[in-house]
């Protein structure tokens, strides 16, 4: 932890009755207790405030603290009163959470837990533990004022797919941004070009067994497995919320068969806020998930079937695990796709050398993050020269320069995914950075640099450089 001050070495007694694992866990508990005290000291808070993330009851909580508590709890207090699960008491824990966090409710004093959970620590860091509310960053406004934004007055508009023009080229990536409403409590999602939802299937799916996430150098492996409540539940639950976000919603859909994809689209047609569909024919951590995306004919079949069900743009998400990605891109274009996303995650594995077995519950998973960006840029570069429909670049975008690489490689838009786990404001930062780049280089619009690195553009276009 970069904020930690040097600490005296503490000799901890050894209990021979404990196993090695138990001893290590006991030591970790001691460390976390010390971290808790130090965190409280740094924030000018009590230990209880640091542990709970709750401000002092003698002062009114800030708007930001309330929003952050709502986001952590995953509950919209405005809807809590009408929630049948809460009203009926079927979800007791949720009801208690709503009651606890509702503004104006006096909570009894609590003692600090012996061990500070990670979530509690994060909440303490975010809320300030009773300290003056932090100055909001550009991604989140607590005042509701119409202050000028860094991207105002800059032409960032792009055609992300045929028939889909967006105010800027920055989208979120499926599986990294929930359904959009979760992050709306933390950042102004209306500043994004669009959001792409978690993958949706016909029926509810529980996802894969644990472990589902494994860190790797410059990335992560995930084996979530398309966990979702099913198309009907998604439409019912989020159909009211999406229009209020002020940002176009692209629903990512998946299935085991062509009929599955068609059924999802039929269920979601007419859902407010939805402007396009992204066909996930390329998820590497689902049994049979790469089948459609690896075969040009099957990918085209799915595209053609879905296209017949809707007038909305269809985006096909390509897999880098296909023998010939370009062939798949050409096939779905001929079948009516309005854009392609390049790329989905790359199949990978991590071995626990102590247990001598794979870390992930399914054995393998999808690698994402900066580690795959050069591969994604290369495939984008190839596909952009092979098709006439827009290409959306995805894979390791974490900064403005990363986004510029994809745009210059021929992408019309980019998706920010894994980076949001470390910094929810990453997509907003990219929007601001692209606006600054346009201004600094005297460009008429961001479209001036789309495909700038492609052979035809290099031969005739100016050298815009990067400032």
Residues with a known catalytic role: 283
- Decide the pairing of beta strands 391-394 and 365-368: unpaired
pLDDT at position 72 over 90: no
Q: What is the mean pLDDT of residues 381-385?
A: 98
Pair 202, 109 in one domain: no
Positive or negative CA dihedral for 165, 169, 175, 176?
negative
Please write the tens of the pLDDT for every residue from 175-228: 999 999 999 988 999 999 999 999 999 999 998 888 999 999 989 999 888 899
7 in a structural domain: no
Structural domains counted in the chain: 2
Please write the tens of the pLDDT for every residue from 239-285: 999 999 999 999 999 998 999 999 999 999 999 999 999 999 975 44
* Helix or strand (DSSP H, E) at 455: helix 455-460
pLDDT at position 139 over 80: no
Pair 212, 346 in one domain: yes
| Rounded CA separation 202/314 (Å) | 18
Pair 92, 170 in one domain: no
pTM of the model as a whole: 0.69
Pair 99, 225 in one domain: no
153 in a structural domain: no
> What does DSSP assign to residue 204?
-
What is the predicted pLDDT for the residue at 102? 39
pLDDT at position 128 over 80: no
Please write the tens of the pLDDT for every residue from 27-48: 555 555 555 555 545 445 554 5
Pair 164, 66 in one domain: no
pLDDT at position 162 over 80: yes
Single residue among 110, 127, 144 that ends a domain in this structure? 127
Name the band, by pLDDT with cuts 50, 70 and 90, for residue 80.
very low
362 in a structural domain: yes
What is the predicted pLDDT for the residue at 241? 94
12 in a structural domain: no
pLDDT at position 100 over 70: no
140 in a structural domain: no
Least confident of 100-109, 287-296, 381-390: 100-109
pLDDT at position 129 over 50: no
What is the predicted pLDDT for the residue at 3? 38
What is the predicted pLDDT for the residue at 463? 47
220 in a structural domain: yes
What is the predicted pLDDT for the residue at 207? 86
Angle separating helix axes 258-268 and 231-238, nearest 10 degrees: 20
| Rounded CA separation 85/377 (Å) | 46
Pair 105, 224 in one domain: no
Pair 117, 60 in one domain: yes
Pair 189, 106 in one domain: no
Pair 394, 340 in one domain: yes
Single residue among 127, 147, 170 that ends a domain in this structure? 127
DSSP string over 353-370: TTTTEESSTTS-EEEESG
pLDDT at position 99 over 60: no
Range of the domain at 74: 20-127
Pair 167, 90 in one domain: no
Name the band, by pLDDT with cuts 50, 70 and 90, for residue 466.
very low
100 in a structural domain: yes
Closest listed residue to residue 428, CA positions, set 247, 277, 240: 247
279 φ/ψ angles, rounded to the nearest 5 degrees: -85, 115
The percent of residues above 90 in pLDDT, for the chain, comes to 59
What is the predicted pLDDT for the residue at 73? 54
148 in a structural domain: no
What is the predicted pLDDT for the residue at 5? 42
The percent of residues above 70 in pLDDT, for the chain, comes to 64
Least confident of 103-112, 160-169, 217-226, 446-455: 103-112
Pair 348, 234 in one domain: yes
Q: Which CATH number goes with the domain that contains 173?
A: 3.20.20.70
Pair 102, 238 in one domain: no
What is the predicted pLDDT for the residue at 34? 58
Are 307 and 384 a contacting pair, CB within 8 Å?
no
Q: What is the mean pLDDT of residues 432-438?
A: 98
Q: What is the CA radius of gyration of the chain?
A: 24
DSSP string over 219-275: EEEE-----B--HHHHHHHHTTTGGGGSS-EEEEE--SSHHHHHHHHHHHTT-TTEE
What is the predicted pLDDT for the residue at 200? 96
pLDDT at position 306 over 70: yes
Name the band, by pLDDT with cuts 50, 70 and 90, for residue 131.
very low
């Amino acid at each position: 932890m970069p904020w930690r001050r040097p600490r005296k070495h503490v000799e901890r007694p050894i209990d021979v009755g404990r196993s090695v694992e138990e001893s290590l866990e006991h030591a970790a508990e001691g460390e976390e207790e010390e971290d808790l005290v130090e965190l409280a000291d740094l924030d000018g808070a009590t230990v209880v405030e640091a542990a709970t993330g709750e401000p002092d009851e003698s002062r009114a909580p800030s708007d930001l603290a309330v929003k952050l508590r709502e986001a952590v709890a995953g509950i919209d207090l405005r809807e809590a009163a009408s929630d049948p699960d809460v009203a009926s008491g079927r979800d007791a824990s949720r009801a208690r959470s709503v009651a606890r966090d509702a503004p104006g409710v006096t909570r009894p004093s609590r003692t600090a837990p012996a061990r500070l959970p990670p979530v509690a620590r994060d909440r303490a860091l975010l809320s300030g533990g009773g300290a003056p509310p932090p100055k909001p960053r550009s991604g989140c406004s607590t005042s509701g004022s119409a202050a000028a934004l860094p991207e105002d007055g800059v032409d960032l508009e792009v055609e992300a797919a045929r028939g889909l023009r967006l105010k800027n080229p920055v989208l979120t990536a499926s599986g990294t941004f929930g359904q959009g409403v979760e992050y709306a409590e933390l950042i102004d999602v209306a500043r994004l070009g669009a959001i792409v939802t978690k993958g949706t299937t016909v029926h509810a799916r529980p996802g894969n067994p644990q472990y589902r996430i494994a860190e790797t150098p410059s990335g992560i492996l995930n084996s979530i497995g398309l966990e979702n409540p099913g198309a009907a539940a998604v439409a019912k639950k989020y159909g009211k919320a999406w229009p209020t976000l002020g940002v176009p919603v692209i629903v990512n859909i998946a299935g085991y068969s062509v009929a599955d994809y068609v059924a999802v689209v039929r269920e979601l047609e007419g859902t407010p806020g939805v402007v396009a569909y992204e066909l996930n024919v390329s998820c590497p951590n689902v049994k049979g998930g790469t089948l459609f995306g690896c075969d040009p004919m099957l990918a085209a079949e799915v595209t053609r079937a879905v296209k017949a069900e809707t007038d909305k743009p269809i985006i096909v998400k390509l897999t880098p695990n296909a023998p010939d990605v370009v062939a798949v891109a050409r096939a779905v274009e001929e079948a009516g796709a309005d854009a392609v996303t390049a790329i989905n995650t790359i199949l990978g594995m991590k071995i626990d050398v102590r247990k001598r077995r794979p870390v992930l519950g399914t054995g393998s998973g999808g690698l994402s993050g900066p580690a795959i960006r050069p591969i994604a840029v290369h495939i984008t570069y190839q596909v952009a020269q092979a098709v006439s429909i827009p290409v959306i670049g995805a894979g390791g975008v974490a900064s403005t320069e990363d986004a510029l690489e994809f745009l210059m490689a021929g992408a019309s838009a980019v998706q920010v995914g894994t980076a949001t786990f470390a910094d929810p404001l990453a997509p907003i930062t990219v929007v601001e950075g692209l606006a600054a780049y346009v201004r600094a280089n005297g460009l008429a619009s961001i479209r001036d640099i789309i495909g700038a690195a492609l052979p035809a553009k290099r031969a005739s276009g100016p050298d815009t450089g990067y400032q």
